Amino acid sequence: MDIANQLQRQFMDYSTSLHREGFVDDQFTQLQKLQDENSPDFVVEVASLFFEDCEKLINNMARALEQQQGVDFKQVDASVHQLKGSSSSIGAMRVKNVCIAFRSFCEAQNREGCLRCLQQVTHEYSLLKNKLQTLFRLEKQILAAGGSIPIVE
Amino acid sequence: MGVESGFSSPRNDVFPAGLRVLVVDDDPTWLKILEKMLKKCSYEVMSVDGETSRVMKGVQHGACDYLLKPIRMKELRNIWQHVFRKKIHEVRDIESLEGIESIHMTRSGSDMFDDGHLLGGEDITSVRKRKDADNKHDDKDLSDPSSTKKARVVWTVDLHQKFVKAVNQIGFDKVGPKKILDLMNVPWLTRENVASHLQKYRLYLSRLQKESDIKNSFTGMNHSDPSSKDSTASFGHHNSMNVMQDDLSNGAYSFSVNNSLAQNVDLKGHEGDRKGITSVPVAEPKGALSIDIPDPNKAKSSHISFDHSLGSVDSGLNFASFNSTNLVQYSWSKIPEIQFKQECEPLQLENGFSQLPLPGSHHHMQTEYLQPSASISSGPSITEKEASSSRIEVKPMYDEYGRNHVKHLSPMEAVDLFPVQSKNHTLHNQVFEPISTSTSSMKSPDVSLNWLTDLEFAQRNLNGGAGIPFTSLSEDIQVCWLQGDCYAMNFGLQDFDCTEYNDPALIAEIPFHLYDAPRFDHDHLFDPAEYSALDKGLFA
């Protein structure tokens, strides 16, 4: 039990830091609350869906922006919009914020700006992925140690 | 994402666990989340990957609620109440089957989220959907706040088409609401709904008759403004109404209606109940287009209701396009109607409009919308600037709406419908801003958008500041204002100002007549969902 407690504390700290640093927001907490015995891996599943979606969208954007003959900003914008929606569904605040800036560059048809944002989005996405994977690992460890996952408000 | 809930037993008094919810979304992440949330509420979930047509169906079917994303559990828990309540109302009315109510959840996207607001920013297409939402929701729950009120039926184009078909099938003289109801086969429609719609329809038809008689006598009226002639001419030929679409930048829209005062009854847009013009196939209607002004109750005190019967709507009116985006909803109240009339009367026939010899009690005003490139202010102005308003231009509103409102709410641009006119030269191309209200405060969140304008405003804007005389309301045009409950913009007509028109060129004749107050209420179920569905942005 000691280990479990330790892990739980670690988990809570980590969780808090994620919130504090803006990686996730309240929506993520909601998701965590939705998790129950019926769907013990709910958050992990949602996160995986999100990551897949994210990668796909980022690829779309990259491809659209690479077009030498003329960037279809509408397409880029559509992808960014979708990403924005997805990220808000999971509470990925930082990703979402980059998307907001990204969209205005799209509207302004600013290729340079868009490319920069794309880079940022990719970066934020990787960061988030790592953080969440760490979090999920902690969760697994807690469960393995016989503890329960604390809800961090 | 659309949610439909069906009741297995209408008289269920307990929490309808097992309420079926259909979730439609193109984002798999959201789908999963919602599924889970709904399951937690013991709803039965059917999940579908969103596609415009599907959601449209859901909406047309009678979405009774909107929820904006991100969705909160508490909102979900509450939806059943709204659905249930509506159900109760309906059940009481009908002898028949259980209705299906849908809750329409749309993908608000990050915009909403950002704004923390029901109506998001650019994401929402104006039309109706977006329009300024009622700010009453703190959450992003757009659920129908007026669920306690009696539901109003919105006569969409489709619905009306069914209705007309049924009527024709039965035979116009033998027609009766019960028969029509049966033929139409729309489960959630009540006999009362049909009855009132039938009444309106009959009136509309008779008005058409009268109008065509009168119009014939108007031939040869002269316009003071030669230019208008051109436009009229162009109107005659031009069939398309450019409605502001997504691209709001271009606010001009022109209606061109053929001049045939065809009494083509078979208008979709008809008589009055065109509330959600979800898809008004312009091609079909020939004849007057009437737009009903919805729910006067919602309007602010000084609202005016218009009945516009568009003289001839021809393929010229591309309602379809119209619908796609921004529709503005207006709520008119009857009370001011009368006042309005009085105010306006003196204005007519001013400034050299000799031509408006309004027949008898019936003023024919037809508005023609010129292709007002210049005059109409650009869309964006509207929503964005609230203050500036009272001058709301029809066009812009359109734009704005399209843009700034919740997707779902697509207000119908009732205003746009006005112009259809006619055939004659008598009715010239005056730009008519039928809107009388002055307050056009278009605040996005503000529900009461009285955008209908100030005549002055309209006039000014419409044609470089020409004044548009607002003739009496007793015109044949029926204006159907879509009333948006929720966020959508509720426009109230306030202060009706009849301003004189300074520029004779701009005279617009609008035939419209005020609707009787009683007709507007109760039968209409306003479903913002319906409009919103149309909103393209929704499915972006």
Percentage above 90 pLDDT, chain B: 0
**Alpha-carbon distance A106 to B540, whole Å?**
15
**Alpha-carbon distance B455 to B433, whole Å?**
6
Hey, is the C-beta of A32 within 8 angstroms of any chain B C-beta?
no
Q: Do A81 and B30 touch (CB under 8 A)?
A: no
pLDDT of res. B48:
55
**Alpha-carbon distance B242 to B244, whole Å?**
6
List the one residue out of A153, A58, A152, A47 whose CA is nearest residue B33: A47
Give the residue from A73, A88, A106 with the most B CB atoms within 10 Å of its CB, the best one to mutate: A88
pLDDT of res. A68:
81
3-state secondary structure B124-178: CCHHHHHCCCCCCCCCCEECCHHHHCCCCECCCHHHHHHHHHHHHHHCCCCCCHH
pLDDT of res. B86:
67
**Alpha-carbon distance B209 to B48, whole Å?**
48
What is the mean pLDDT of the segment spanning B114-122?
38
Q: Do B110 and A85 touch (CB under 8 A)?
A: yes
Closest residue, chain A, to B540 (C-alpha): A78
CA B161 to chain centre: 16
Residues paired with A22 in a beta bridge? none
With vertex at residue B22, the alpha carbon angle to CA B6 and CA B323, rounded to the nearest 5 degrees, is 100
Query: CB neighbours (10 Å) of residue B220?
Result: 9
pLDDT of res. B189:
83
pLDDT of res. A128:
94
Smallest CA–CA separation between B360 and chain A, in Å?
54
pLDDT class for B68, splitting at 50, 70, 90? low
pLDDT tens digit sequence for A111-120: 899 999 999 9
Give the residue from B71, B76, B110 with the most A CB atoms within 10 Å of its CB, the best one to mutate: B110
**Alpha-carbon distance B364 to B511, whole Å?**
4
For the ranges A101-115, B72-86, B512-526, the one whose mean pLDDT is highest: A101-115
pLDDT class for A96, splitting at 50, 70, 90? very high
**Alpha-carbon distance B349 to B507, whole Å?**
9
Residues 81-100 of A with CB under 8 A from B: 81-82, 84-90, 96, 99-100
In chain B the domains, ranked by start, together with CATH numbers, are 20-97 (no CATH), 157-213 (1.10.10.60)
pLDDT tens digit sequence for B170-202: 887 777 888 888 888 888 888 888 888 888 988
Residue at A36 is within a domain: yes
Residue A35 is part of which domain span?
3-145
pLDDT class for B16, splitting at 50, 70, 90? low
Q: Do B27 and A82 touch (CB under 8 A)?
A: yes
Residues 34-73 of A with CB under 8 A from B: 34, 36, 38-39, 42, 45-46, 49-50, 53
Rounded to a whole number of angstroms, the distance between the first and last alpha carbons of chain A is 23
List the one residue out of B65, B134, B127, B116 whose CA is nearest residue B448: B134
CA A55 to chain centre: 11
**Alpha-carbon distance B338 to B340, whole Å?**
5
Cβ-proximal residues to A133 (8 Å cutoff; 6+ apart), any chain? none
More confident residue, B98 or B43: B43
pLDDT class for B323, splitting at 50, 70, 90? very low
**Alpha-carbon distance A8 to A1, whole Å?**
10
CA B358 to chain centre: 27
**Alpha-carbon distance B392 to B170, whole Å?**
44
Give the residue from B33, B69, B114 with the most A CB atoms within 10 Å of its CB, the best one to mutate: B33
**Alpha-carbon distance B113 to B198, whole Å?**
43
pLDDT of res. B150:
62
SS3 B413: coil
Q: How far is CA B147 from CA A140, B81, B270, B381, B449, in A?
A: 45, 9, 27, 32, 21
pLDDT of res. B62:
57
Contacts of B42 in chain A (CB under 8 A): none
Residue at A153 is within a domain: no
pTM exceeds 0.90: no
Is B8's pLDDT higher than 50? no
Q: Do A89 and B30 touch (CB under 8 A)?
A: yes
| Global ipTM | 0.80
Averaged pLDDT of chain B: 50
With vertex at residue A17, the alpha carbon angle to CA A14 and CA A23, rounded to the nearest 5 degrees, is 110
pLDDT of res. B121:
36
Rounded to a whole number of angstroms, the distance between the first and last alpha carbons of chain B is 12
Hey, is the C-beta of A151 within 8 angstroms of any chain B C-beta?
no
What is the mean pLDDT of the segment spanning B507-523?
43
Q: Do B110 and A78 touch (CB under 8 A)?
A: no
Residue at A151 is within a domain: no
Count Cβ atoms within 10 A of the Cβ of residue B154 and give its class: 0-12 exposed, 13-18 middle, 19 or more buried. Answer: buried
Contacts of B109 in chain A (CB under 8 A): 81, 84-85, 88
| Total count of domains within chain A | 1
Is A130's pLDDT higher than 90? yes
What is the mean pLDDT of the segment spanning B42-46?
63
pLDDT of res. B83:
67
Nearest to B33 among A38, A46, A53 (CB): A46
Closest residue, chain A, to B41 (C-alpha): A34
Q: Do B110 and A81 touch (CB under 8 A)?
A: yes
pLDDT class for A152, splitting at 50, 70, 90? confident
- Count residue pairs from A and B with Cβ separation < 8 A: 64
Nearest to A100 among B28, B37, B110 (CB): B110
Smallest CA–CA separation between B118 and chain A, in Å?
15
Is B76's pLDDT higher than 60? yes
pLDDT of res. A148:
84
pLDDT of res. A55:
93
Closest residue, chain A, to B40 (C-alpha): A34
Q: Do A88 and B33 touch (CB under 8 A)?
A: no
Residue at A40 is within a domain: yes
Provide the strand spans (E) within B219-373.
290-291, 307-309
Hey, is the C-beta of B37 within 8 angstroms of any chain A C-beta?
yes
pLDDT tens digit sequence for B215-266: 676 554 444 444 444 434 333 344 343 333 444 444 333 333 334 433 443 4
Q: Do B29 and A81 touch (CB under 8 A)?
A: no
Placement of tokens 């297409």 in the chain = B125
Residue at A137 is within a domain: yes
For the ranges B401-415, B423-437, B522-536, the one whose mean pLDDT is highest: B522-536
**Alpha-carbon distance A38 to B47, whole Å?**
18
Closest residue, chain B, to A36 (C-alpha): B40
The first and second tokens of residue B346, run together, are: 């003196």
Nearest to B540 among A46, A81, A87 (CB): A81
Nearest to B110 among A42, A78, A96 (CB): A96
The first and second tokens of residue B286, run together, are: 């020939």
Q: Do B114 and A100 touch (CB under 8 A)?
A: yes
Q: Taking phi first (over 0 means left), then psi (-120 to 50 degrees means alpha), and beta for anything else, what does residue B292 get? A: beta
Is B105's pLDDT higher than 80? no
**Alpha-carbon distance B315 to B319, whole Å?**
9
- CATH code (residue A14): 1.20.120.160
Residue B448 DSSP class? B
Averaged pLDDT of chain A: 89
Smallest CA–CA separation between A95 and chain B, in Å?
11
- Phi/psi for B525 (5° steps) reads -100, 115
Count Cβ atoms within 10 A of the Cβ of residue B17 and give its class: 0-12 exposed, 13-18 middle, 19 or more buried. Answer: exposed
pLDDT tens digit sequence for B330-357: 333 344 434 444 443 443 334 443 444 4
Which string of b and e fits B101-115 if b means at least 16 CB within 10 Å? bbbbbbbbbbbbbbb
**Alpha-carbon distance B155 to B59, whole Å?**
13
pLDDT tens digit sequence for B405-421: 334 433 343 334 344 34
Give the residue from B23, B26, B29 with the most A CB atoms within 10 Å of its CB, the best one to mutate: B29
Hey, is the C-beta of B76 within 8 angstroms of any chain A C-beta?
no
Give the residue from B49, B113, B117, B403 with the most A CB atoms within 10 Å of its CB, the best one to mutate: B113
